[in-house]
Amino acid sequence: MKRDDIAKTYDPKLVEDSIYKQWEESGFFNPDNLPGTRKKSFTISMPPPNATGILHIGHAVMLAIQDLVIRYQRMQGKKALWLPGTDHAAIATQSKVERLIKEKENKTKHDLGREKFLQRVEEYVEQSRNTIKNQVKKMGSSCDWSRERFTLDADLNKAVNEAFKQMYQDELIYRGHRIINWDPNLQTTVSDDEVEYIEEQSPFYYFKYGPFEIGTSRPETKFGDKYVVMHPDDKRYKDYEHGQKIDLEWINGPITATVIKDKAIDMEFGTGVMTITPWHDAVDFEIAERHNLDKEQIIDFAGKLLPIADEFSGMPIKEARPRIVEKLKAKGLLAKVDKNYRHNIATNTRGGSLIEPQIKEQWFVDVNKKIKKLGGQSIKEKALGVVKNDDIKILPERFEKIYFHWLENLRDWCISRQIWYGHQVPVWYKGDKVEVGDKPTGAGWKQDPDTLDTWFSSGLWTFSTLGWPEKTKDLKTFHPTQLMETGYDIIFFWVARMIIMSTYLVEEIPFETVYLHGLIRDERGRKMSKSLDNIIDPLDTIKDYGADATRLSLLIGSTPGNDMNMSEAKVASYRNFVNKLWNISRYILMKVERPVLVTKSPKPKTLADRWILSELDELTELATKNLEKNNFSLVGEKIYEFTWSKLADWYVEVSKSEDEKDDILLFVLQNLLKLWHPFCPYVTEVIWQKLNTDSLLMIEPWPKVKTKIDKQAIKDFNLIQEIVVAIRNLRTESKLPPSKRLKIVIVSPKHAKLIKSESDIIKNLARLEDLEVSASAKKPAESLSAMVLGAEIYLPVSGMMDIGKEVKRLEKEVSRISEFTLHLEEKLKNQRFLERAPKDIIAAEETKLKDNKAQLAILKKNLKSLK
């Protein structure tokens, strides 16, 4: 091949889109089209990005990891399915469209009405869904677009209705009045997991409440407080009896309070006495339930005070609070104010406004009800069980504990939302009659206006996307899936719910392994945010450095469960690497007579040949083993090292002076491309196509792992490398002109033969004009000699080595190994050890002892010669 056929630098922009098109048109993203007989399937359900979102670095890392795995499995000959989709993200999408309509037309959703509004949302989603889809493609994602799903598809709606129906029939779903998290802004409930607590400083008031003093940060809720609660063991209040009535003056006049004794009270906090507001506080609600107390609503669902507040009725909380305090102060009921009080306030993670606990009738999933189908277990117990007995493995393992803790403390799950966009609750009413499931025949049925929590439908994702509740071929072939790869931040929202839903509805685990990646932070470890202006946009890095470099920078150096810092410099360094790989290929393609595929393992002719082939074997083995164990970063690092530090730095250099290496160069390159393909698919595919083949690298079989690896070749060549480096070093330090002849005296005759036979390589790599090698037991002469001792090389040139330091090191080593040798000898004399230990262990210890003795002898000899 001529020089001009291949550009000097690799330009990803020129090829990425057309390569993706080629892959897509090949049809091989769809496992049904893959060649050969493939028995095993491997499925990944893609965590669906929000349909209205744009690709961010979190998506990029998830796509990079999943594409890596699915490409590897495809090359391993599996029916590899990566099923993509998008999520309707109910609350986020609805509020976004609401905002847009408000801005453009100054209308609210109520002005439009439910039907018209939903139409607008759908239009918006339709247009925006393509954006994210194209961005997913930019990363090189080899997912099966023919099976793409959207969480609101008709089929998926059917699945949701069926799931709801089954759960309702098993009495897992019930409707009831419970305290829920109400967002007065968005006018909907949110689940416990969506609530985020933010620390805030606000005044803490102490009011006189009859003979007591009560503390509160929320005076506006106190109108209806007629129960005063204290701990039964609190000696300060031992004179008050449970149920005792006390008349007292309160905000809007005299009331009668009732004393309640309850252990939920923290005696240490404040005065140890509090009044309760069961309608607007979860803990108070529980106390009220326990003692069967009255509950009264104080604040309406818009966040305004109700008529019970008398003159404050209709006032928003913010406005009312200072006035109420003012009034109490005027009545002499304000005892004191703590202005430095810090406490946590509840906010909605989807929208950010304050959460007001309210009592409301909602649909719930009972997580504790024992189910016949699950062998008398509750869905919670079942979900715990499958992870406890390792049917599902969570990586990293420490998240299993977190998962258990969350499940064990899980309360009933509120699944109804008062928003319009989403799966509508499949319950139908007509007078007193209630039907669940599909719309009943006949006129006059009205559907429940609420929609379901997004995570209810997302929980079905692994199987609803494969056709459930129909018994489809896909469901049979591809479920359970093998890998669930997602961020650790949604382990509760999503992972746990998929496990619950799947084990209950399909009676299968949804996936075998959960791989949790970390958050991507900026180079200083801060979260990426608009306000810090530290966002790294994967679309930008793809544009500037290529998709391969972007992928590599996200894959290498990231370990499961740990956050990873990302910087543009890192992407740039992998762009450099991709270019290096490109140039190695460029060199090989130019050097060989005919660039073709080499199918048979070539015969090595020289030590360097044996070495590079052995290194390749070792790399293949390591890569395969560790990809199976999901150690992606380690594998990437090792292939990187092989490519740059072994192939490019050594073998390519050797090949410049040795001929007839075409088959080996091509064979190594071709296998290296295969190993790299799951990490950086574009550049590898482009190079592959220059090997005069019509085949796609994407579906090439993964390199076979050799059972026998020539370790001697590796050892021998490493010695040659050491010698070359030592000579180069010698030359740099002593600033010798290149024409100078060098004489090398090998003191240890053990390696003399090897070095002699490889002296040409040494000469070429060290850029010597001439080199003389001789084996001798004599001490080396002055300055320009080198001596080889055992496996180590010492250059007795001034400044090269600190003899004293070296002697110390060797002495330390000698004493360490002698002690170890003694220890081993004793162990091998121990009767009990000999009787009980397995034979191979004993053998291993014996070899160890032998090795140690040999090493000790060499070390002692070295030490002597240095002295």
Partner RNA sequence: GGGCGGUUAGCUCAGUUGGUUAGAGCGCUUGCUCGACACGCAAGAGGUCACUGGUUCAAAUCCAGUAUCGCCCACCA
Q: Which of residues 253-272 bind RNA (CB under 7 A)?
A: 264-267, 269-270, 272
For RNA, which is the closer residue by CB, 122 or 196? 196
Q: What is the Cα–Cα distance from 336 to 11, expressed in whole angstroms? A: 71
- Which residue of 402, 539, 714, 807 would you call a contact of RNA, by CB under 7 A? 402
Question: Phi/psi of residue 793, each to 5°?
Answer: -115, 135
Does residue number 652 form part of the binding site for RNA (CB under 7 A)? yes
For RNA, which is the closer residue by CB, 167 or 273? 273
Beta bridge partners, 446, equal: 429
Q: What kind and span of H or E run contains 71? A: helix 57-75
For RNA, which is the closer residue by CB, 266 or 507? 266
Question: Phi/psi of residue 344, each to 5°?
Answer: -95, 135
Q: Which stretch binds RNA (CB under 7 A): 84-92, 435-443, 726-734, 834-842?
A: 726-734
Q: What is the Cα–Cα distance from 457 to 460, expressed in whole angstroms? A: 5
The SS3 of residue 599 is: coil
Q: Tell me if the bond preceding 35 is cis, omega within 30° of 0.
A: no
CB of 487 to RNA, least distance (A): 11
CB of 657 to RNA, least distance (A): 11
Provide the pairing of β-strand 416-417 with 342-348: unpaired
Other beta carbons within 10 Å of 530: 7
Does residue number 40 form part of the binding site for RNA (CB under 7 A)? no
Does residue number 709 form part of the binding site for RNA (CB under 7 A)? no
Does residue number 30 form part of the binding site for RNA (CB under 7 A)? no
Q: What is the Cα–Cα distance from 278 to 357, expressed in whole angstroms? A: 9
For RNA, which is the closer residue by CB, 131 or 626? 626
CB of 431 to RNA, least distance (A): 38
Q: What is the Cα–Cα distance from 2 to 589, expressed in whole angstroms? A: 9
For RNA, which is the closer residue by CB, 318 or 656? 656
By CB under 7 A, the count of residues binding RNA is 88
- Token couple for 469: 């509740």
- Which residue of 437, 820, 842, 861 would you call a contact of RNA, by CB under 7 A? 820
CB of 453 to RNA, least distance (A): 15
Strands across the sheet containing 356-365: 188-190, 173-183, 356-365, 413-414
CB of 196 to RNA, least distance (A): 7
- Which residue of 315, 367, 386, 648 would you call a contact of RNA, by CB under 7 A? 648
For RNA, which is the closer residue by CB, 792 or 846? 792
- Which residue of 15, 283, 306, 842 would you call a contact of RNA, by CB under 7 A? 283
Q: What is the Cα–Cα distance from 130 to 138, expressed in whole angstroms? A: 12
CA angle (766, 772, 777) in 5-degree steps: 115
- Which residue of 393, 690, 728, 756 would you call a contact of RNA, by CB under 7 A? 728
Q: What is the Cα–Cα distance from 852 to 706, expressed in whole angstroms? A: 29
- Token couple for 656: 């410049």
Q: Which stretch binds RNA (CB under 7 A): 63-71, 306-314, 325-333, 397-405?
A: 397-405
- Residue 560: which of 502, 483, 499, 624 has the closest Cα? 483
x/- map, 593-622, RNA, by CB under 7 A: -----------------------------x
x/- map, 475-494, RNA, by CB under 7 A: --------------x--x--
CB of 844 to RNA, least distance (A): 11
For RNA, which is the closer residue by CB, 374 or 675? 675
Give counts: helices (H), strands (E), the chain: 28, 31
Q: Which stretch binds RNA (CB under 7 A): 113-121, 292-300, 395-403, 688-696?
A: 395-403
The SS3 of residue 494 is: helix
Does residue number 861 form part of the binding site for RNA (CB under 7 A)? no
Other beta carbons within 10 Å of 38: 15
Q: Which stretch binds RNA (CB under 7 A): 56-64, 294-302, 404-412, 829-837?
A: 404-412
Site for RNA in 538-597 (CB under 7 A): 557, 559, 562-565, 567, 569-570, 573, 575-580, 583-584, 586-587, 590-591
For RNA, which is the closer residue by CB, 119 or 562? 562
CB of 278 to RNA, least distance (A): 11
Beta bridge partners, 513, equal: 393, 483
x/- map, 184-203, RNA, by CB under 7 A: --------xx---x------
Q: What is the Cα–Cα distance from 68 to 81, expressed in whole angstroms? A: 13
Torsion over CA: 44, 50, 52, 56 (sign) = negative
Please classify residue 40 by burial: count the beta carbons closer than 10 Å to its beta carbon, then call 0-12 exposed, 13-18 middle and 19+ buried: exposed
For RNA, which is the closer residue by CB, 112 or 842? 842
- Residue 150: which of 206, 68, 225, 88 has the closest Cα? 88
Site for RNA in 756-815 (CB under 7 A): 792, 809, 813
- Residue 45: which of 474, 436, 438 has the closest Cα? 474
For RNA, which is the closer residue by CB, 215 or 510? 215
- Which residue of 166, 258, 729, 734 would you call a contact of RNA, by CB under 7 A? 729
For RNA, which is the closer residue by CB, 10 or 240? 10
CB of 725 to RNA, least distance (A): 4
Question: Phi/psi of residue 361, each to 5°?
Answer: -80, 125
Does residue number 3 form part of the binding site for RNA (CB under 7 A)? yes
- Which residue of 13, 40, 102, 343 would you call a contact of RNA, by CB under 7 A? 343
The SS3 of residue 187 is: coil
CA angle (182, 187, 193) in 5-degree steps: 40
Residue 359 one-letter amino acid: I
For RNA, which is the closer residue by CB, 121 or 786? 786
Provide the pairing of β-strand 173-183 with 188-190: antiparallel
Q: Are 699 and 28 in contact (CB under 8 A)?
A: yes
Does residue number 216 form part of the binding site for RNA (CB under 7 A)? yes
CB of 441 to RNA, least distance (A): 43
Does residue number 865 form part of the binding site for RNA (CB under 7 A)? no
Q: Are 528 and 555 in contact (CB under 8 A)?
A: no
For RNA, which is the closer residue by CB, 221 or 416? 221
